[in-house]
Amino acid sequence: MRLSDAPRQPAPSDPAPGDPAPGDPAPGDFVALRTTALALLTGGDFDVSDPAYERPLAALGERAATWLAQMVPGLIWPDLPLEGRPGNVTGSYGRLRQIATAWATPGTAQHGDDAVATRLAEALDLLYERHYNERLPETGNWWFWEIGTPAELSRVCVLLGERLDAGRLEAYLGAIDRFCPDADRRAGRPEASESGANRADKASIVAFRGVAGRRADKLALARDGLSDVRDGGRHSVFGYAESGDGFHRDGSFIQHAVVAYTGSYGLSLLIAVAETVALLHGSPWEITDPGQRVVLDAVERSFAPFVHDGLLMDTVRGRAATRQTFSDSVAGHEAIGAVLLLARSAPEPYRSRFEELAKGWIERGAARPYLRHANVPQTRRAVAVLDDKTVEAAPSPAGHHVFPEMDRVVHRRPGWAVAISMSSRRTAAYEAINRENLHGWYTGDGMTYVYTGDLGHYGDDFWPTVNPYRLPGTTVDTLERENLDFSVHRPPSPWAGGVVLDDLYGVSAMELIGDGVSLRARKSWFCLDSAVVALGSGITSFDGRTIETVIDNRATDAEPYVGDGWMHLPGTGGYVFEGARTLVETRTGRWRDINEGDDTAGAFEPVTRRYVTFWFDHGVNPLEADYSYVLLPNATRERTRAFRGNRPARVLSNTPTLQAVQTRALLGATFWAAGSVGILDVDAPCVVMLRRASERIVLAVADPSRTVDVVTITLDRAAGGVVRADDTVTVRTGKRPVIAVRVGGSLGRSHSVELSAYGPRSPRYGR
């Protein structure tokens, strides 16, 4: 095999290995497809003198020059030893892809350089002959063999195109066909059907392989693989999952059966689908499955709630949050790129909405400016939208979102957001595999993320430097833990989730059962207009160790101002609490301490950040201890002081059976058992939120435990009629209205009813 020394020529008219057989689509279809593929990978036909491309072209060329300079004949890269290291094989192909991209992209120093092409061929030959060919068995992690390496190699083959002679191309594509022949099955375990992100990634690989080899059957396999034609749509990425991997009807995304992974595997799926749809658009293999709406709808239902000013929240990134080079802002950029790519072929109203969302995220993404880090294709799409005066940037949103199938909650107001990571017997508290997420013990125990103007908080060396025993929002046993290793933990409690009222407010709760310890606690969050009230009760432990609840653990250089029962932290906001401890400390850690993955391992070099921590010390062996605190994101010092003095949100109850908070217009309650509070009398466990305004009463109910069939609520306030009600709700109006809510089988979702009120008005909900 050798790389042709001749100048690049049009494809020959006589059939060659991989050419279409008689009756197949015309050769022109494959020429058009490769043009599309090159545009996806390099940006296509653009003006290299345009200043908008100066930075991405320079960055691409510099990366390629770095890898070329470090290449060693017969070894490739010394820092990526290949023998017995499939992750390093994938990493090596990844570097070759970057070089090949520079070689194929006009405007770089490497563009069209024969010497660069020759060096690429030598490296590709070495990898094929010794480390990735159809004769080798899979060793180690299957993903490197079946997704990681073929994803890079298939794209290298497209980029080099006719500069690869027929023998070489046939060999490389043969290796891909051995380990990723289709999107349907796992090559190393044929009884396993691929699902979720793995299926989408494989479909994308097979599509690019089909373009590189001019194979109509492979392009059909890529198209059909997304829809899972082979198995009647059982694992289609264009269908909702009833359990396990994929998008769920409530907007959740699950991978590995039980892990909340919207911002990692879900993102991979979004990118792969966007690429495959764009590649095949307008071709004989165009994707026409009407189920594409599932992915198109997911942009706004599944991803947008977790994108805050251009970053993708760690609450749905699982172990990927411990990857040093894949911060929340990097993930956010990838999401923006995928959304803009989807917009190109999406029908209205999706196209316009995607462009509006992306434009808003880019314009507000000050933590990591998009155009400063985007590659050439991303820059092309972004500049087009930013320069289009008819596209209005979507503003920072307000809303409350509960994702019952993955135990996640996001509360948003313009300029700030709070996300809560819970867990239950349905959803993992953590996943630690492939030597990643070694200190993730408490990330699913109610960890509370607060996003304000300090956009770099979680992305700038937070994870290796934060005290992993004091994650914000968690109640923990101070037991010293061992590094996690190939473990996925689900607590036995059924209770995690929340209720949504008017799409703006909510109450969420989880029953905490400590991992391998006796600790138990009941935790609730009440999400209001300008505040989040957090309550904990029933905190009990018998293991002879101190139990703590962490209010916040903020990486900041700001100086906290401590008042009487309140604290203000510039750049973050205010906190209201009684009796908490405070610590200001500088902490040093290493990314390698939390991630030793084959292709994601962090650096050994220490990094340092300064933290302001405040927490409740419940003492040793607490019995029925409790806590209460208020988060006031973006609040000024004056507003924090006023909130502490005026108490606009009042705690009505904080016991192991009832946690409740009220404001002038709202009443929220977690009923761990039947009980009464304010004007509510409830006969079964549930979470409830009620709002009264303009002579109307709006009520929302959910059963996070999924153990109740019907919740009956009696109101101690007259109601004259039903304005609207879900079909699961029945009402008997009168002086003491009775509301019956069929929550059984609803998978934790919210049920709502609106009543017209009459009788004496009261500014508050006391009896």
Residue ranges of domains in the chain? 26-180, 239-394, 399-648, 673-757
Cα atoms in the 13 Å half-sphere on the side-chain side of 75: 9
User: Coil, strand or helix: which one is 413?
Assistant: strand
pLDDT for the residue 25:
78
User: What distance, in Å, lies between the first and last C-alpha atoms of the chain?
Assistant: 87
User: Coil, strand or helix: which one is 744?
Assistant: coil
User: What span, in angstroms and rounded, lies between the C-alpha atoms of 40 and 207?
Assistant: 13
For 485, counting Cβ atoms within 10 Å of its Cβ (0-12 exposed, 13-18 middle, 19+ buried), the class is exposed
Sequence-ordered alpha helix ranges (H) in 510-627 = none
pLDDT for the residue 24:
64
User: Coil, strand or helix: which one is 90?
Assistant: helix
User: What span, in angstroms and rounded, lies between the C-alpha atoms of 224 and 731?
Assistant: 48
Largest CA distance in the chain: 91
> Which ranges of the chain have pLDDT less than 70?
1-24, 455, 758-767
Angle at 70 between CA 65 and CA 74, to 5 degrees: 125
User: What span, in angstroms and rounded, lies between the C-alpha atoms of 176 and 150?
Assistant: 6
Alpha-carbon separation of residue 455 from 365, 468, 613 (angstroms): 8, 20, 18
Token pair belonging to 671: 């009923």
Q: What is the pTM of this model?
A: 0.94
For 446, counting Cβ atoms within 10 Å of its Cβ (0-12 exposed, 13-18 middle, 19+ buried), the class is buried
User: Would you say 689 and 666 are in contact if contact means Cβ atoms under 8 Å apart?
Assistant: yes
CATH 3.30.750.210 fits 673-757, yes or no: no
The answer to whether the 26-180 and 673-757 domains have the same CATH topology is no
**Nearest of 453, 454, 362 to residue 414 by alpha carbon:** 453
User: Would you say 556 and 569 are in contact if contact means Cβ atoms under 8 Å apart?
Assistant: yes
Residues serving a catalytic function are: 198, 256, 265
Q: What is the CATH number of domain 26-180?
A: 1.50.10.100
Orientation angle between helical segments 149-160 and 114-130, nearest 10 degrees: 150
Angle at 633 between CA 693 and CA 475, to 5 degrees: 100
Token pair belonging to 92: 């090596």
pLDDT for the residue 455:
67
Strands 447-451 and 505-513 come out as: unpaired
Residues in the chain: 767
Query: How confident is the prediction for the chain on average, in pLDDT?
Result: 93
Q: Which fold has domain 399-648?
A: Beta-galactosidase; Chain A, domain 5 (2.70.98)
For 372, counting Cβ atoms within 10 Å of its Cβ (0-12 exposed, 13-18 middle, 19+ buried), the class is exposed
User: What span, in angstroms and rounded, lies between the C-alpha atoms of 240 and 124?
Assistant: 40
Token pair belonging to 149: 């390496």
CATH 1.50.10.100 fits 239-394, yes or no: yes
